[in-house]
Amino acid sequence: MVNVSTGPWQHSQLKRAKQYKQRGSMLVEVAVLLPLFLFIVFSALELARGLILYASLNHVMSEAARQVKLSAASGANYQAKLLQAMRTNPASLLDSSKLVVEQAKFYSSPETLANQEPNNSVVDKNGLLAKYSISYQVTLLSPWLEGLFPFSADILVKHEPER
């Protein structure tokens, strides 16, 4: 008789306990996997953002280098000119305040360039080969992607002789 009255009650209690247990295990699994899943999703978004910025950096740098090499002037500050040309490019997707010209090296001939012997002391840089290194100081949400994207680029141009 006792068994008949308490059976269903015990059964429902047990079922509820199992449901709680199940819910708990799901929670633990989701808690373990969600960070990993979010990491992959956000990394993919960051990767896409990185690719766009990298492509824009290359484009802006090439355009600026072309502009500067055609407007060569004796003893001019090419780095400032290059930076100015990059900052004023309307097609740029970059934050212009984060662009930095890291290095400018000048070479008098392909031979000195092949031997890595720059000569930056030459005042008149018309007709010289120039290598510019540009970097973009970007902060990514996934710092590990910074190894994949150096966000820097080099370009080699020949300054046109002044006419």
Partner 1 sequence: MSQANLNFNAPSAHRRLTQQQGVVMVEFLAVLPFLLMIVLLTFDLTSYLQKQSKLERLSYSLATIISHREQYYQKDAVSDELPLTQKQVTELTRIARNELSQQDIAVKVYEFNNQYTAGEPISFSNGSGDCAWRSAGAVAENLPKASNGTVEPGLFMVQLCQDIKGTSLFAKFSDSSDFSHLYARSVMVKREKRHDD
Record the tokens describing residue 77, joined without a space. Answer: 């500050």
**By CB under 8 A, which span of 70-78, 83-91, 96-104, 111-119 interacts with partner 1?**
111-119
Judged by CB under 8 A, which of 74, 116, 121, 139 binds partner 1? 116
Q: Which is nearer to partner 1, 12 or 97 (CB)?
A: 12
In sign, the C-alpha dihedral spanning 139, 143, 57, 112 is: positive
Element containing residue 37 per DSSP (H, E): helix 2-70
Record the tokens describing residue 94, joined without a space. Answer: 């970059």
What count of other Cβ atoms lies within 10 Å of the Cβ of residue 49?
16
**By CB under 8 A, which span of 39-47, 73-81, 86-94, 135-143 interacts with partner 1?**
39-47
The Cα 63–Cα 70 span in angstroms is 11
- Name the residues that contact partner 1, by CB under 8 A: 2-3, 6-8, 10-11, 14-15, 18-19, 21-22, 25-26, 29-30, 32-33, 40, 43-44, 47, 50-51, 54-55, 58, 62, 109-111, 113-114, 116, 127, 129, 131, 148-149, 153-158, 161
